[in-house]
């Protein structure tokens, strides 16, 4: 089985989180919007980050990926505080799939893979269905195929941690299931996955654990089963009802 890319930290144990935040604060114009966020993801773990539009999910992911500097708190990468940028973190095994698919629509699928500095075969291992599309322009493909390309490119690098924003926005259920299958396979090979997903129920069917954000704070956290059981509260969160941190549910299951 293919191993996950080696990191640089000799002190990082297998049970330690790949990424963890301590009291993370992120915002704009020096004003924190995301506050007191404590989360972590371990190797092989699939973790959903849920919350209504504007809850702060993308803002949180940007700080984890090193695309914006936190206003406070710490991002720990492989057990060490980090302030590296995305390209530095990606050398040490961080993959990031942004919500806007980072695909060059006029380039062929094969060229999109090459500019992503990965091998075509490594992408096809995750999504063999792209083989017959290699020579067409990426922009001519369906949204589902484009997301397979984005995700396949990220997975081809065997990241220790893959961060995915809006995993399945606008895609058909059959495509979503296909993407989930690829994520499950990668997780079984040791990749930790943190993903944002619009469909709460769908997300919880893939996730081992979930965090729910509301107005920049984590208001619920726990195993997917535990969070699933609180669907009424989640609906309230999505309607903007709650902002208190729920400490009782923060322990890992």
Ligand X SMILES: Nc1ncnc2c1ncn2[C@@H]1O[C@H](COP(=O)(O)OP(=O)(O)O)[C@@H](O)[C@H]1O
Query: Which positions touch ligand X (CB under 6 A)?
Result: 28, 33, 51, 53-59
Count CA within 13 A, CB hemisphere, residue 196.
Answer: 23
Distance of closest approach, residue 85 Cβ to ligand X, in angstroms? 17
**Cβ closest to ligand X, residue 79 vs residue 98:** 98
Taking Cα atoms as reference points, which of 100, 95, 41, 30 lies closest to residue 69?
30
Q: Shortest distance, CB of residue 124 to Mg ion, whole angstroms? A: 30
Instruction: Report the nearest approach of ligand X to the CB of residue 208 (Å).
Output: 21
Q: In sequence order, what E strands does the chain have?
A: 17-28, 31-37, 40-42, 46-50, 72-77, 80-82, 94-97, 161-164, 192-196, 209-214, 217-223
Out of ligand X, Mg ion, none, which partner does residue 77 contact, by CB within 5 to 8 A per kind? none
Bridge partner list, 211: 49, 221
DSSP label at residue 182? H
Only one of the segments 23-31, 49-57, 141-149, 245-253 lies at the binding site for Mg ion (rule: CB under 5 A); that segment is 49-57
From Mg ion, ligand X, none, interface partner of 53 (C-beta below 5 to 8 A by class): ligand X
d(CA 63, CA 61) in angstroms, rounded, equals 5
If binding is defined by CB under 5 A, does position 198 make contact with Mg ion? no
Residue 127 partner contact from ligand X, Mg ion, none using kind-dependent CB cut-offs of 5 to 8 Å: none
The answer to whether residue 74 forms part of the interface with Mg ion (CB under 5 A) is no
Nearer to ligand X among residue 33 and residue 96 (C-beta)? 33
Measured over the CA atoms of residue 185, residue 231, residue 99 and residue 243, the dihedral's sign is negative
* Residue 154 and residue 13 in contact, taking contact as beta carbons nearer than 8 Å: no
Task: Tell me whether strands 40-42 and 17-28 are parallel, antiparallel or unpaired.
Answer: antiparallel
Q: Of ligand X, Mg ion, none, which one does residue 89 interact with (CB within 5 to 8 Å by kind)? A: none
Shortest Å, Cβ 56 to ligand X: 4
Among ligand X, Mg ion, none, residue 51 binds (CB under 5-8 Å by kind): ligand X
Q: Which of 12, 36, 52, 58 binds Mg ion (CB under 5 A)?
A: 58
Report helix, strand or coil for 209.
strand
Which residue has the CB atom at the shortest distance from Mg ion?
58
Which residues neighbour 87 within 8 Å (Cβ) at sequence distance 6 or greater?
Answer: none
In terms of CB distance, is 59 or 82 closer to Mg ion? 59
Nearer to ligand X, 54 or 143 (CB): 54
Provide the binding-site residues for Mg ion, judged by CB under 5 A.
57-58
């Amino acid at each position: 089985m293919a191993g996950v890319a080696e990191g640089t930290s000799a002190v990082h144990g297998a049970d330690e989180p790949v990424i963890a935040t301590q009291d993370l604060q992120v915002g704009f114009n020096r004003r924190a919007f995301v506050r007191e966020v404590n989360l972590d993801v371990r190797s092989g773990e699939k973790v959903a980050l849920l919350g209504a539009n504007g809850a702060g999910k993308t803002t949180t992911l940007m700080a984890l990926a090193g695309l914006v500097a936190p206003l406070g708190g710490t991002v720990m990468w492989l057990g060490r505080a980090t302030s590296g940028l995305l390209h530095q973190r990606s050398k040490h095994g961080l993959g990031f799939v942004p919500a806007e698919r980072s695909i060059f629509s006029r380039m062929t699928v094969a060229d999109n893979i090459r500019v992503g500095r990965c091998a075509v075969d490594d992408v096809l291992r995750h999504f063999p269905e792209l083989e017959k599309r290699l020579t067409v322009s990426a922009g001519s493909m369906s949204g589902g195929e484009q997301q397979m390309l984005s995700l396949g490119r990220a997975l081809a690098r065997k990241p220790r941690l893959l961060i995915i924003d809006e995993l399945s926005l606008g895609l058909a259920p059959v495509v979503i299931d296909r993407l989930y299958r690829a994520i499950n396979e990668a997780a079984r090979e040791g990749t930790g996955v943190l993903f944002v997903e619009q469909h709460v129920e769908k997300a919880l069917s893939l996730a081992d654990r979930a965090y729910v954000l509301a107005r920049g704070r984590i208001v619920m956290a726990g195993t997917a089963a535990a969070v699933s059981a609180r669907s009424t509260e989640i609906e309230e969160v999505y309607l903007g009802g709650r902002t208190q941190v729920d400490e009782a549910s923060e322990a890992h299951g």
